[in-house]
Each structure stands twice: as structure tokens, then as C-alpha cells.
Amino acid sequence: MGALAIPWLQRNRDRPGRAFSDKKPGDFTHPVVIRKPGGVALVDTGKKDSHGQAVMVACATCHDTRDPNFNANSGESLKEFHQGLKTQHGGQTCLSCHNHEDYNTLKRADGRPLDFSESMQLCAQCHGPQYRDYQNGSHGGMTGHWDLKQGPRERNHCTDCHDPHHPKYPLVMPVFPPKPVIGEAIPSADGEKSH
């Protein structure tokens, strides 16, 4: 075989975008798990139990004995709990998403109840472009393996990154600034560059 034939024969093996795994198509693939919030939402009462743990109560504990307030969209006007709750979610009121017929659930836009663990469906009703991007992997973080033949992957839920009451992602500052590359000039406070 001539010297030119070897590179030609190897072109499929070395082409860009080749498979990350030598496993054959159809081999076992690991699952993709989407983290979900816990079932029933709980509120911190501000009290501690005998072990120093926060005493938590279900929303229905208080709300089942009160008339629903369809105009509330902030915790500031409330007398018990929720006073420090920062809400900034468009013009939505609390009962746009929370189910006033069963406070241990949320409610879809059509009024059907929805378990808190399925809240991504609630978010997707209004945030369609973000949900579309989530489905194709370009929105929301994940850990694990890209190649599911190598290992499993775990994906974030909306509430892992966004507070549902104030969903705008907060601006963050890194703890340590990036280090300069060797030989790169570093601007000082007075604008002078040093090495």
C-alpha cells in the first residue's frame, strides 16, 4: 500500500466530531436525571426545636384557616411570615401560581393543581423560550457526562438557579479575580501597567 493511502484510510478515524466512546451504537446509556424540588413547600416559623433545627410548617397549616387574598403580590403587607419575601415576578400575584384551594400545591394557568415537585411545568407556561432552551441543553446547568455511555448526567431544575418569587438571576462577583497569564501586564489602580 502506498504512503498516500494510509492517511486516506485513517481519515474516518481522525475526523472532527468523532465518537467519544468506542462502544457500539445501541449499547447501554446512563440516565439523565432532572433534580426536582421536594414535595410540599414548608415555611420556617423562626422557632427552633430541641435539637436546634428550624421548625417548619406546611403552607396549608395557616392558609386553610384564612380567606385567600387574590391581590397580594408582596410579603410587605402580611402580618405573619413572608414579610421578608422579595417578590418581583412581573405583575403576578401570589395566587397566580399558588393554589388557593390547596396551598400544598401550585396551580397551572388553566386552574388544575400541580405538585411542587413538578413546578418546571408551571414555569414553562410563561417562560417558553427558556424552557425550549432548557430542553435542548443551552439553558440550565448540569453535572456528569456528556457521553451517556460513559456515565449519568444530572440537570438543574429552574429553582436551582432562580428564586421563583424573584427569578432574575442575581449578579455575582467571583471570590478571586482571574490571575494574569505570565508576561501579561496588570493595570494598577492608577492606570499604570506593571508586570
Residue type at 101 in one-letter notation: E
Q: Cα(97)–Cα(164) distance, rounded to whole angstroms?
A: 10
Long-range contacts of 165-168 (CB under 8 A, 24+ apart): 165/85, 165/86, 165/87, 165/88, 165/89, 166/86, 166/87, 166/88, 166/89, 167/89, 168/88
In this prediction, residue 195 carries a pLDDT of 53
Pairing of strands 153-155, 186-187: unpaired
pTM of the predicted model as reported, rounded to 2 decimal places: 0.63
16 domain residue, yes or no: no
Residue 40 lies in a domain: yes
Given pLDDT bands bounded at 50, 70 and 90, which one contains residue 6?
low
pLDDT at 189 (0 to 100): 57
Print the domain residue range for 109: 30-64+76-161
In this predicted model, which residue has the larger pLDDT, 15 or 145? Answer: 145
Q: How many domains does the chain have?
A: 1
Q: Flag whether 91 is in a domain.
A: yes
Is 113 part of a structural domain of the chain? yes
Q: How confident is the model at residue 72 (pLDDT cuts 50, 70, 90)?
A: confident
Residue 167 lies in a domain: no
Helices (H), ranges, the chain: 5-10, 59-63, 119-126, 128-135, 158-161
Q: What are 154-195's pLDDT values in tens digits?
A: 998 888 888 787 777 777 777 777 777 887 777 665 656 555
**What are the C-alpha distances in Å from 46 to residues 16, 38, 40, 82, 129?**
57, 20, 18, 11, 38
At residue 50, does pLDDT exceed 90?
yes
The reported pLDDT for the residue numbered 166 is 74
pLDDT for 35 equals: 82
Flag whether pLDDT at 90 surpasses 60: yes
Please report, in angstroms and rounded to a whole number, the separation of the first and last CA atoms in the chain: 56
pLDDT in tens, 100-155: 898 888 999 999 999 988 889 999 998 989 999 888 888 888 888 888 888 999 99
- Can you give the pLDDT at residue 188? 66
* 184 belongs to a structural domain: no
Residue 125 CA to residue 118 CA, distance in Å, equals 12
Mean pLDDT of the region 47-54: 91
Which cell numbers in the block locate residue 42?
414548608
Residue 38: inside a domain, yes or no? Answer: yes
- Per the domain annotation, does 120 fall within a domain? yes
Q: What is the dihedral of CA 141, 147, 151, 155, to 10 degrees?
A: 20
What cell was used for 33? Answer: 436525571
